[in-house]
Amino acid sequence: MKLAMVGTGYVGLVTAACFAEMGNEVTCVDTNSAKVEALEQGIIPIYEPGLEDYVKRNSQENRLFFTTDLAAAVQRSLVVFIAVGTPQDKDGSADLSMVLQVARDIGRCMDGYKVIVEKSTVPVGTARMVRQVMEEELRARGEEMEFDVVSNPEFLKEGTALDDFMKPDRIVVGCDDVRVAELMKELYAPFVRTNHPIIIMDVVSAELTKYAANAFLATKISFINEMANICSRTGANINMVRQGIGSDRRIGHLFLFPGLGYGGSCFPKDMQALIHTARYRGYTPRILEAAEAINQDQRQIFYDRVLEYFQGDLKGKVLAFWGLSFKPQTDDIRDAPALTLIEKFQEAGARIQAHDPEGMTATQKYLGDNQGISFVKTSYEAVEGADALIICTEWSKFREPDFDRMRSLMKKPVIFDGRNLYNPEKLEKAGFAYFYIGQKVT
């Protein structure tokens, strides 16, 4: 099929590259000419394992194209995906201005029947709004053209996005026409050869499904963090509790790791958007509100533990940070716990020595001219002369470090582990003061 992908952000670029990998002809559209030029040269603006190879290979084989010309891309394509950003607005709702602007632009330039696919994460009712603004533009042109609007939410995890797309657990398609459903089934057929389902539903249900999925996973993270906080007051071992409940097939082990809470571009924004949707319609989503509150508290609890150890005085202290991105295998620092903690520690007078395999460039750009933080090339450089190590991201390279070398480099052998990477008994024998999530408060 000939497809257009409007938006070359994380979702748009991954989706376009994977469709092209299966033989489709995909034209990616972006208003940023510099970004388009870089993509044409194979320069990828994000870090996602394997994505660069997909983009280069399919570009070279003339299945993947990049342009700023929306009209040309729409007119050569049957299916047009909208994959632009829906950032959080001031009131917590999703800002749909970019989605609706793209819909208007499509209405101004379409030259025949099109299937418009919502790939952006959007609240209930967005498809209706997309249809409305497109019809307005067609009326302004004096044209009558058929088109359908489909909701097709993405379920990609940063760091494993290619596998998630190529081998999906399920494909969700929301549409109101049997013919369109069959078209979408045909498009996705190569990705579900292992009999994972393509679930056809109404548009509103598909729009809500994406939010419901993310809200459930975010709530699961907050639940295990709440259990960790209870463990810290009762003396129970959170790692044993996690294994005990996770072994129940009804619960499972995924997303059941205590830590600093969720971050990134999806969970925080989508939780707020769903809460706003519920309140707007007169319902108080108490579980979602509690999950959000727990998530925010988790960073403060961790900070307070560090502050308590240093008896309330962090002035002049050097804190090593391992991990800046909100999760491993990505350079995404949006709403990353590390950024919240760095800000708090710097306000308290500490200096930061930070290392992350992929997230340092983005963090430098985010923090700007910040004299209180230095970015170093290796994890061992980060701990040199440090009064304590703060672990914020569970990158694989942090799991089995040389503890003897660390102890010799650090000013004080102290570790505050926000991801529970290590065995407390092992660290104690290695001569470290080790603090982790769920540890009993004495």
Catalytic residue numbers read 266
Q: How many CA atoms lie within 13 A of 67 on its CB side?
A: 13
CA-based nearest residue to 17, from 9, 26, 30, 7: 26
Contact 207, 123 (CB under 8 A): yes
Token representation of residue 155: 């379920």
Give the Cα-Cα-Cα angle 197, 203, 207 (nearest 5 degrees): 85
* Dihedral sign of CA atoms 35, 39, 42, 44 in order: positive
For residue 170, give Cα distances in angstroms to 206, 251, 344, 418. Answer: 12, 19, 41, 32
- Using DSSP's 3-state secondary structure scheme, residue 152 falls into coil
Contact 380, 417 (CB under 8 A): no
Contact 318, 372 (CB under 8 A): no
DSSP for 229-271, please give it.
Answer: HHHHHH---HHHHHHHHHTSTTT-STT---SS---SSSHHHHH
CA distance 323 to 259: 13
Give the Cα-Cα-Cα angle 258, 289, 367 (nearest 5 degrees): 65
Which amino acid would we find at residue 350?
A
DSSP E strand stretches across 263-421: 318-322, 351-355, 373-375, 388-391, 414-417
CA distance 230 to 225: 9
Element (H or E) spanning 64, and its range?
A: strand 64-67
